[in-house]
Amino acid sequence: MVEWIVGITGASGAIYALRLLDVMKKSDYRPHLIVSAAGERVIQEESGLTLDEVSEGCQLYSVYDVGASIASGSFPARGMIVLPCSMHALAAMSLGLADNLLTRAADVTLKEGRKLIVVPRETPLHAIHLENMARLAKAGATIVPAMPAFYHEPKSIDDLVDFVVGKVLDQAGIEHALFQRWGY
């Protein structure tokens, strides 16, 4: 089983994380899940689901357990996806502030040269947000803003969600058929 770390923070957009986890659990990818306190609240408010329901089929870690196995470079993760990513978590990651398990796992992912995919979900953006994204990108992270496209003629919110999640999966090297690609 291929190991991926998934972080969910307090930005709006829990629907993206739920769809990502659903796709990963149905494939040969095992999500190691970290959810911030604000992330848990957003999941509850936007989906009505509890963390126990969301984490079924995942290995769940407390965001406060900085000694968890995924906080070490010796943990054999392929990479980490932070979806949705709040500006608070993005700023902490961009500055190397490994003050909880989510930001520590992101820091370790970067130092080990593994794939860190960050999906910010905020608008509008000011200069500090953009500078933090640029700093994180320079450190090796891939920034995939939650910006759906329309060339695939979406018919529902699920189609828009699948497009964004599909772009994240593309960056992770995980095959999917969530949206029709341009020209196919």
User: Is there a binding annotation on residue 115?
Assistant: no
To the question of whether residue 121 is assigned a binding role by annotation, the answer is: yes
CA distance 78 to 158: 27
Sheet bearing 115-120, strands edge to edge: 59-61, 29-35, 2-8, 79-85, 115-120, 142-143
Check the annotation: does 29 bind a ligand. Answer: no
| Cα separation, 57 vs 25, whole angstroms | 7
Q: Is 36 annotated as a binding residue?
A: yes
Q: Please indicate if the annotation marks 184 as binding a ligand.
A: no
Q: Is 135 annotated as a binding residue?
A: no
Q: Alpha-carbon distance 168 to 21, whole Å?
A: 12
Helix ranges (H only) for the chain are: 14-26, 37-47, 51-54, 87-94, 101-111, 127-138, 157-172
Distance from C-alpha of 96 to C-alpha of 19, rounded to nearest angstrom: 28
167 is in an annotated binding site: yes
Binding positions are 10-12, 36, 121, 151, 167
Binding positions for dimethylallyl phosphate are 151, 167
Binding positions for FMN are 10-12, 36, 121
